[in-house]
Amino acid sequence: MKKTLIVFACTALLAASLSACGSKPAENTDTGTASSAAASSSSSEQQQENTLTGSLDEKKNGMFVVTDAEGASYEFTYDPSDTPKGLDDVAEGDSVTVTYTGTVSEVDSFDGTIVSVEKAEAAQN
């Protein structure tokens, strides 16, 4: 009798714990105005062209790395079938200026588009 009661209690606890895990998430009733405003500001931010000047440290099919004057390295990735304008004209070790849209980070992956890669002008004394 006690075993049957314990088995029944364990079964009830198991059923209760499993049903709690299967609950549906709350529905989002947001009208979308705040999220669309954030999306439009994010979209305009990605369309703004930025430049980064530094040394071309590594150049491979689909990616290259540029290190700026402070020593921070940034990895740029691209579709190998669509090589960025000017990338074929520079070599590892060259000082380059990368024009891009989106954001670059030492930690996160590149999430924009490379507009061009140009050999940077040598500093004149």
Residue 65 lies in domain: 48-119
Assigned domain for 124 exists: no
pTM over 0.75: no
Q: Dihedral through CA 79, CA 80, CA 81, CA 83, nearest 10?
A: 90
Assigned domain for 29 exists: no
Phi first, then psi, for residue 43 (nearest 5°) are: -65, -45
Assigned domain for 2 exists: no
Q: Dihedral through CA 55, CA 77, CA 59, CA 54, nearest 10?
A: 0
User: Considering its fold, how many domains does the chain have in total?
Assistant: 1
What averages of pLDDT result for each successive group of 10 residues across the chain (125 residues)?
A: 81 71 53 50 66 94 92 92 92 94 89 92 58
- The single residue listed with the structure tokens 């954001």 is 103
Assigned domain for 56 exists: yes
Tokens (6 digits) for 96: 């380059």
Q: Are 100 and 112 in contact (CB under 8 A)?
A: yes
Which pLDDT value is given to residue 13? 74
Assigned domain for 95 exists: yes
Assigned domain for 8 exists: no
Assigned domain for 107 exists: yes
Assigned domain for 113 exists: yes
Show Cβ contacts of residue 85 under 8 Å, excluding neighbours closer than 6 positions.
115, 116, 117
In CATH, what number is assigned to the domain containing residue 104? 2.40.50.200
